[in-house]
Amino acid sequence: MRKLRHLEGVSTLVLDETKCIGCSLCTEVCPHHVLEMHENKARIVDFNACMECGACVNNCPSEALAVNPGVG
């Protein structure tokens, strides 16, 4: 079976790496593994897998992530 994905190129996920404190909570709560840790900072590794659920945003203590659910 083909891996199901959200629409390509429409996610509104934004990461401000300068605000990231490296807590890794976003990587732990993302159900689609959109984010990974690299050199103690979060990084978007699969932008098109984001379904805009907001789990990463709601768990980010430094407000480094933003998403506008329902747009993409």
What CATH number does domain 14-66 carry, 2.102.10.10, 3.30.70.20, 2.60.40.10, 3.40.50.720? 3.30.70.20
Q: Show me where the domains of the chain are located.
A: 14-66
Query: pLDDT tens digit string along 16-72?
Result: 999 999 999 999 999 999 999 999 999 999 998 998 999 999 999 999 999 998 755
pLDDT interval class at 6 (50, 70, 90): low
The residues pairing with 15 across neighbouring beta strands, listed in sequence order, are 65
DSSP string covering 19-40: T-----HHHHH-TT--EEEETT
- Binned at pLDDT 50, 70 and 90, residue 3 comes out as low
Half-sphere exposure of 13 (CA within 13 A, CB side): 27
Q: CA gyration radius for the chain?
A: 12
| Residue, of 11 and 36, whose pLDDT is higher | 36
